[in-house]
Amino acid sequence: MARRTGQGTWNRGRRSRAALAVLTAAVLGVAGCDAVGGDSAGPAGSGTRQGKPSPKPTPVWDTSPESVAAVGDSITRGFDACTVLSDCPEVSWATGSSAEVDSLAVRLLGKADAAGRSWNHAVTGARMADLAGQMTRAVAHRPELVAVMVGANDACRATTSAMTPVADFRTQFEGAMRTLRKALPKAQVYVASIPDLKRLWSEGRTNPLGKQVWKLGLCPSMLGDADALDAAATERRNTVEQRVEDYNEVLREVCAKDRRCRTDGGAVHEFRFGTEQLSHWDWFHPSVNGQARLAEIAYRAVTAKTPAT
């Protein structure tokens, strides 16, 4: 009896140790699941992907593009900024090399790099209808940023009736943007507003030399009969002023539909050009100082964290 009792005690002890082992394994198993389960990161080599940093999304707008192409008209060519009735692209607000201007390209790229990674395809006298052709030439360089300033010549016609209709202006700008996007879907676009031509008339008419140059046919819809203040002249200038405002609205609306396009928010149009900022040859186009102010406006718009409104 005593032996049987001892054997039963041993058996019960063996069963108890086995039960304890099972319980211990269960506890450890639960602890292990908790260590790698839920939202917790697994140990190195566990194979889990949780806890790895997510890649940062590429921003829609890069505030430091590495190449710049410019398109537009006489303002972007630096017309009349250096000598009378001549282009002076070295002082262009967009791509010029002049230290006095510190152009958009120089500010973004540095002077050495700007020389090889910026291109000026603007043409004096160009209108919106010419922009698509300029875009075609610009995209050959595959620029990361295209700077646009065009539209003044669409308002500067022989008569107000000859100004580009607003609907045509819109169609032409949309077409130019399609030309760009077909070749460079990710290129960024900066669009400058058209200056206030009426203010330029108001400032320039105080200079006798400027008015003589105007008689050569410079923007006759606004500058013709510069000293006339009768009702007809006033209505003519107001008509040009309104057309420029309508063009600027088109630039804003078309640009707003493109996620990689920014305008200056009307800053160029609102800038109060004074005699220091006007060409001392024609008192209408920007001087070297005026080109520098345009470069400042462009650089602020391109490097801003959020687009101008």
Strand partners of residue 149: 72
Q: What's the confidence (pLDDT) of residue 58? A: 67
Q: How far apart are CA 214 and CA 218, in angstroms?
A: 5
Q: What's the confidence (pLDDT) of residue 18? A: 44
Q: Which CA distances in Å does 57 have to 145, 156, 162, 264?
A: 20, 45, 48, 26
Instruction: Copy the structure tokens of residue 66.
Output: 């590495």
- pTM of the full structure: 0.81
Q: How far apart are CA 176 and CA 166, in angstroms?
A: 15
Q: How far apart are CA 303 and CA 283, in angstroms?
A: 31
**pLDDT tens digits, one per residue of 256-305:** 999 999 999 999 999 999 999 999 999 999 999 999 999 999 999 999 99
pLDDT band at 309 (very low <50, low <70, confident <90, very high): confident
Q: Report all structural domains of the chain as residue ranges with CATH numbers, in order of start.
A: 126-303 (3.40.50.1110)
